[in-house]
């Protein structure tokens, strides 16, 4: 028999998902008022719903899952898989033996990791447990996994503990991905916790490589990671003409793989 309290939680969660899908996005305060509960309760609800991949947490509220964001992480690996593999090879070519790297969460950064397997004397620090699986048994690579909360949907290690861990290093190159790049050169993501980790990675790397496939250009995402002025290389399959001038003014070296 299910307790009355549990039934109420299930019903509230269903309403939160329905409200968010109907509006596209909604604030914690609006949900609390509509549902007659405290903001603290709503924040807890949103955390649980995000773990079930039913909504996307953003600063101050939630967004409906839409487009490719609704897909399971394993399925997202198959989107533009050939382009991601070519991007991975091109980004990996910028990394020499004997260096140190950060690699963050993302299917494109995992593609880069697959092209690093034969490197020598390489240190890789990552908050992506999928990258740990790819590189941990390679004889020439030392892998250091960030500590912290593991997000079940994609095996990203996020949160304050992960950020503190990352601040203990200063690496040669950060390899990062993003969910979107706006026309003004800002690159963005959907998850606040993930963005905080990505920012910390950028701040503690001497050079930064941003790797994205062309589906990410001018795509909406709510949380800003940074601007192209903080990036040294942009590796993509195809760069929109509108962004070429932005990259040139920002001093970003562009590597295009074609397609």
pLDDT of residue 225: 95
Q: 3 is written with which tokens?
A: 């307790």
Q: Which fold does the domain 4-65 belong to in CATH?
A: Arc Repressor Mutant, subunit A (1.10.10)
* Mean pLDDT (10-residue bins), the chain, 259 residues: 64 84 80 93 91 79 62 58 92 96 94 96 96 96 95 87 96 95 92 91 98 85 92 96 94 91
- The pTM is what? 0.73
Question: How far apart are alpha carbons 92 and 86 in whole angstroms?
Answer: 10
CA–CA distance, 211 with 62 (Å, rounded to integer): 26
211 Rama sector, left if φ>0, alpha if ψ -120 to 50, beta otherwise: beta
CATH 3.40.50.1360 fits 75-256, yes or no: yes
Looking at residue 39, its pLDDT comes to 93
pLDDT for residue 77? 57
pLDDT of residue 186: 95
Res 218: pLDDT = 73
Q: Where are the domains of the chain?
A: 4-65, 75-256
């Amino acid at each position: 028999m299910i307790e009355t309290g549990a039934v109420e939680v299930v019903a509230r969660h269903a309403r939160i998902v329905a409200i968010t899908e109907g509006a596209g996005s909604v604030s914690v305060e609006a949900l609390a008022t509509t549902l007659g509960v405290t903001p603290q309760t709503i924040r807890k609800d949103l955390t649980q719903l995000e773990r079930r991949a039913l909504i996307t947490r953003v600063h101050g509220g939630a967004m409906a899952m839409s487009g490719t964001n609704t897909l399971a992480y394993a399925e997202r690996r198959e989107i533009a898989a050939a382009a991601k593999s070519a991007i991975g090879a091109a980004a990996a070519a910028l990394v020499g033996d004997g260096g140190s790297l950060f690699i963050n969460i993302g299917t494109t950064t995992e593609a880069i990791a697959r092209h690093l397997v034969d490197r020598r004397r390489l240190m890789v620090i990552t908050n992506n447990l999928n990258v740990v699986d790819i590189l941990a048994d390679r004889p020439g690579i030392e892998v250091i996994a960030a500590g912290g909360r593991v997000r079940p949907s994609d095996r990203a290690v996020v949160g304050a503990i992960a950020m503190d861990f990352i601040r203990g290093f200063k690496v040669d190159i950060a390899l990062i991905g993003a969910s979107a790049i706006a026309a003004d050169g800002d690159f963005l993501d959907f998850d606040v916790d993930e963005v905080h980790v990505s920012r910390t990675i950028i701040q503690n790397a001497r050079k930064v490589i941003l790797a994205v496939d062309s589906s990410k250009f001018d795509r909406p995402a709510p949380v800003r990671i940074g601007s192209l002025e903080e990036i040294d290389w942009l590796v993509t399959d195809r760069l929109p003409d509108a962004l070429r001038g932005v990259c040139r003014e920002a001093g970003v070296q562009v590597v295009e793989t074609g397609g």
